[in-house]
Structure 1
Amino acid sequence: MMGLVLLAVLLTPVPVASSSKYANNHFSSWSLEKAVQMLNASPWARQETITHVIRGVGSGISGEKEIYSTFYVRFLSAQPIREAYARIQQIQHGYDKMSAEEKAWFDQAQVANLTMDTSRWIVVSVGFRSNDPNEESRVRRFFQNQTTSTLKNRVYLSTPICPQVELSAYFPPREESIGAKFVFSRELNGSPILNKQCGYVAFELLDVLGANSRIRSVFPVKAMIMDDELVF
């Protein structure tokens, strides 16, 4: 279970990393900074921040408060993202100082997440944080109360060859550091929805912060290629 320490770590701003930086570097050798960078600012991770001002709350010279609402969008089906979560767990539990037997036990506990079959499905996770507790609670309730059917017309993946890929399944948040999980098919009518020639893949989420609100995270495809393979 990833706790509050991991959540705090994931909120630390870091510079953007490229996929080539990790291609020949096994995740068990990553520093904490590198793992956090993968989860927050890599080809498979985006942060989308929306700000608005509320009045009359006694904050600031004119009684205003600026609310920051940040969505953390990640391709959980991408192996580097799952490896980053695994590495942070290792660091939290003192993996590097474990005996060979202890490491073997710990490695076995992480196998299911690291080797899950994503050959047919794309999994996008969305986490959320706000500097306003009321906003955070409201959005948390939103994600907890949704189902696949209620989100069918509010969540999409889009690529140049498939403008709107419908949601196949939805899983409400179980761990706050990961967030809600959105599942999409990798193929439409037998053809891949994304290839290396596509310029981008975008995740779109509507009406989370109220009517007409929109979160759109765009991921350049070229940056997601590792060792000549498109990873997502």
Structure 2
Amino acid sequence: MFLIFFVLALFPESAVWEKDFHSWSLEEALSILNDSPWAREQTATRVVGGIGSGIAGEKEIYERFYVRLLSARPIREAYARADRLISNTESVDPTAAKSAKDSLDLDTSDWIVVAVAFRSNDMSREQEVKRELQTQTTETMKTRAYLSTARFPQVRIMAFFPALEDGVGAKFVFPRKINGEAVVTAGDQNLIFELEMPGDMPDVRTTFKVREMMVKGELIL
């Protein structure tokens, strides 16, 4: 028994994202989208009065932002795999197959792309935030969305693409290099994404650990 544990310690099971994504189960694909080095969740809760399950009729409202590094290939592969499995289309039509391939082969060598989606059990709140993410422009987001490392604080977006009905969310495009120097390197500790939201909507601040995004010695971003 000791020998088995010793061998497992020497040769740990490969991470899901190190496997061929065509072999991923739906659970594995969703785990990459929700609980991986390239995916973060930020949840805020509040209690409102009225008819509910609380002793005094309170109801807990959650507001959850999903922040994903879309430029990282494992995230794009997870979207493609989950979509295929949910649609139950292991053999898709040529048009759909080409669309999926184009998404996977997206050239992000010059850009870091952050996708932001939102969910809440308060439907009016969900619609309010989604509407905000669907109606903004690159100009209006330039002073509200930032990507930061210790060497490059508050890098501004180069482009913004409003949220569509694809579940991916709004897309924030940042430069990979500034004056020829990489914004993020393997030597950095954290990559921080910030988004200022208007009114009483919660602001977004999420931290990605650079060390965790290293795969076989390469920074996947």
TM-score interval for Structure 1 and Structure 2 normalised by the shorter chain:
0.7 to 0.9
Aligned-partner Cα distance in 2 for 1:24–1:141:
36
Instruction: Please state if 1:66 is matched with 2:60.
Output: yes
TM-score by length of structure 2 reads 0.87
Give the Å deviation of 1:91.
1.3
Structure 2 counterpart of 1:203, from 180, 193, 196 = 193
Q: Structure 2 counterpart of 1:159, which letter?
A: T
Structure 1 counterpart of 2:15, from 21, 25, 37 = 21
Aligned-partner Cα distance in 2 for 1:128–1:207:
12
CA shift digits 1:41-89 (9 cap, x unpaired): 000000000111223x222332322210000000000000000011112
Give the Å deviation of 1:157.
0.4
Q: Structure 1 counterpart of 2:188, which letter?
A: C
- Matched with 1:17 is none
% same residue: 45
> Highest Rg: 1 or 2?
2
The runs of 4+ residues in structure 1 deviating greater than 3 Å are: 93-96, 102-109
TM-score by length of structure 1 reads 0.83
Unaligned runs of 5+ in 1: 1-19
Q: How many residues align?
A: 207
Unaligned runs of 5+ in 2: 1-13
- Matched with 2:213 is 224
Structure 2 counterpart of 1:177, from 133, 155, 167 = 167
Q: Structure 2 counterpart of 1:46, which letter?
A: R
- Matched with 1:3 is none
Give the Å deviation of 1:228.
1.0
Instruction: Please state if 1:146 is matched with 2:136.
Output: yes
Give the Å deviation of 1:25.
1.0
CA shift digits 1:14-46 (9 cap, x unpaired): xxxxxx503541100001110000000000000
C-alpha change, 1:148 and 1:104, in structure 2 (3 Å) is closer
1:82-231 correspondence to structure 2 within 5 Å: 82-96=76-90, 98=91, 107-208=97-198, 210=200, 213-231=202-220
C-alpha change, 1:144 and 1:93, in structure 2 (3 Å) is closer
1:75-86 correspondence to structure 2 within 5 Å: 75-86=69-80
Instruction: Please state if 1:40 is matched with 2:40.
Output: no
Contact 1:155 1:166 in 2 (8 A): yes
Aligned-partner Cα distance in 2 for 1:134–1:105:
36
Q: Structure 2 counterpart of 1:118, which letter?
A: T
Contact 2:45 2:62 in 1 (8 A): yes
